[in-house]
Homo-oligomer: A and B are copies of this chain.
């Protein structure tokens, strides 16, 4: 008999009272996500990690060794599923994520893998597939499309056959976020990747920030199945109408739930609306929680609890075609169960994953597995020679003042082109911190070349010194920002020494740093320590996107907020 058949037989035997359950959760009020009903006085019986019975009385399945959990009228809710996040891409380890996310009720995580893969290529995918299994909860991944803004990313991507092989892996749910621009313009690799994903009956995740009308339609027509980038209710509605599973973010990068309230005030069918974190920062994870915070926030914003919970359970499971295993308290599903005293202040007292208690009263009760990555995953910053101040010098063309393109920082996430006028000094174009104009340089850190590009940045707020970081999106270049060429070289050198994180230098000395050696992206320190390192009295600095943030070197003892 196959494993599937044997499991079915075992579950049926329990349901029929022919053999005892492993565990029974007794006397709860089950949130039925299919019908959006609350079913009072309901027992749930578990066998071999799956739900074997949900009904008014599981007395017939209780044997001498059956463990009984008294729900005492608490709500029994399916474990939450984060449908879009960034594990091992947001400064801390998977173990630390689980330690703080699981007690809030998250029992399934679906993560992007683009950042480590940009640094390490296909080895990252294989290593992650190994790292994500045998954890206290289920962690799935989407494959890194490696379709970047920089052409070199695509050049180093695995071939289509590797993707087709990975797409059959049980932990792979599809293709990670494919930026809309490259796909809509593509007649080759991005299209082939999406097509191979659709042909494999897996999901091609979208990223259509700013797209609308014909271009958004073209993107959907190509086979893209979701978007987690709407920031207004209108943008969300446009995506829902196209059949895209539309993911609303309430995490570190964006907090969009408040803007979405119009969606649940007019009877719109929301079966394709999903709540996600898109990654949670260390400080927010400690202070607010994880996906449980999204649920509390959505309910606070007027969404019915049953609907909010559908958006982090059944809707996500349906999107990824996993609703026969996940996302509901129903026969045959994984026994991922939460006991919650108050649906409106969603804080589980007990979290079961595959029928095992993994958290109780806000604390993880099992130890996440610390995966062991190859040694070279911790030394990913390559330069053929030492970086020197002269590398950041910008020789001026002959003549007087010149006009040049600069990057203007509009918000923490948005830049735009600005045309500036620069007056050469001794034959060089220089930073002008008094006018809030500094240099910004990008160093190729992975491909062992001397490539280095220097430009100008306005609006960053840096008055002296320099900051270098390897924690940059998409390109995974080292970014150095500085008011001073010598400090820029020093910060870059220090970062190359530590092999990742952030280095801040001023006056020829190191003044602050954060080490993140795994892929130059992740620290394996405890989350409390990371958050403390990154927290200052002037607030919280998101080092992941440090290159986009206004770090100043004014307070040499900390890494303050702009």
Contacts and interface: CB of A to CB of B under 8 A. Distances in A.
Interface of A: 1-2, 4-5, 7-9, 11-12, 15-17, 32, 34-37, 39, 50-55, 60, 184, 187-188, 191-192, 194-196, 198-199, 201, 213-215, 217-223, 225, 237, 240-243, 267-269, 271-272, 310, 318, 321, 323-324, 328, 330-333
A12 B184 contact: yes
Nearest to A220: B331
Contacts of A310: 269
Contact of A221 (B52, B60, B199, B243): B52
A243 B16 contact: no
A318 B240 CA distance: 15
A191 to B, nearest CB: 5
A236 to B, nearest CB: 10
Contact of A242 (B12, B184, B215, B330): B330
A334 to B, nearest CB: 12
A62 B225 CA distance: 27
Contacts of A221: 8, 11-12, 15, 50-53, 331-332
B332 A4 contact: no
A198 B324 contact: yes
A15 B195 contact: no
Nearest to A39: B241
Given A243-B34, A243-B330, A323-B243, A217 B15 contact: yes
Given A218-B16, A223-B324, A318-B318, A269 B8 contact: no
Taking the full assembly, how many copies of this chain does it contain?
2
B60 A214 contact: yes
Contacts of A54: 217, 242
Nearest to A194: B8
Nearest to A42: B241
A457 to B, nearest CB: 34
A83 to B, nearest CB: 17
A344 B84 CA distance: 40
A199 B15 contact: no
A231 B242 CA distance: 35
Given A32-B241, A53-B217, 15 more contacts: A1-B187, A1-B188, A4-B198, A5-B191, A5-B194, A7-B195, A8-B191, A8-B221, A9-B191, A34-B240, A50-B221, A52-B217, A221-B331, A242-B331, A243-B323
A196 B16 contact: no
Contact of A192 (B1, B12, B35, B201): B1
B318 A4 contact: no
21 contacts: A1-B192, A2-B199, A4-B195, A5-B194, A8-B195, A8-B221, A8-B223, A9-B191, A11-B222, A12-B219, A12-B222, A35-B241, A53-B214, A54-B217, A198-B324, A201-B321, A221-B331, A221-B332, A222-B332, A223-B324, A243-B323
Contacts of A11: 218, 221-222
B328 A35 contact: no
A419 to B, nearest CB: 30
Nearest to A321: B321
Contacts of A243: 34, 323-324, 328, 330-331, 333
B37 A241 contact: yes
Nearest to A219: B12
Top 10 A-B pairs ranked by shortest CB distance?
A4-B195, A221-B331, A15-B218, A5-B195, A11-B221, A12-B218, A36-B269, A8-B222, A243-B330, A220-B331
Contacts of A8: 191, 194-195, 221-223
A533 to B, nearest CB: 44
A225 B324 contact: yes
A55 B15 contact: no
